[in-house]
Structure 1
């Protein structure tokens, strides 16, 4: 994994360490990171995104506590063996809160479901082109 795979938004309401944690979880659940894959060092991520190294360290440590990452002496952090065995259910668990929030907000704004789905489809297509 390259430090540039993470997309940090300093102005977002979600703390940066949570952004890192959530993105690593999604990369593992989505199969972009597999068991044994090494993560970029704390320093690499901090330098690439101009953030405090302690922020990255906090995210990595919490993911280690969850069992998603393992610390390799002298090599840094890697995806844990058991982290990639959860399959498709884990991906839906990760995206479900966002879908619920979008559905609630669309209802509050009285947006038609078909329009929301069409816009989501276009956004996903654009995101796919940008990879």
Structure 2
């Protein structure tokens, strides 16, 4: 049995991925998550490969990548090794956006800290 042969129930996949069941269904429906295996009774069964992919999606989502860009990236991944250049471009562009957001958050944090310092002086 390989890593991809390990199967998890939807509840286990929710616990492992941190996504809600509704989100997993939505991601499958729109094509972010490839076709999920089904048991003989028709229930979804998630593999280790599915969970690894959900980890990538979690990272992209948590760092603010729009669903449309996530879909573009997913399509390129499924298209194979000939799309590495395009995937790299998507990730590099996203990384630049993340870096800009981090800089903005640092500026905003400093404003908060300045206000905290002011109030401490007042007290």
TM bucket (normalised to shorter chain) is 0.3 to 0.5
Q: Which has more radius of gyration?
A: 2
- Please give the TM-score of this superposition, normalised by the length of structure 1: 0.33
TM-score (norm 2): 0.34
Larger relative contact order (Cα-Cα within 8 Å, sequence gap ≥ 6): 1
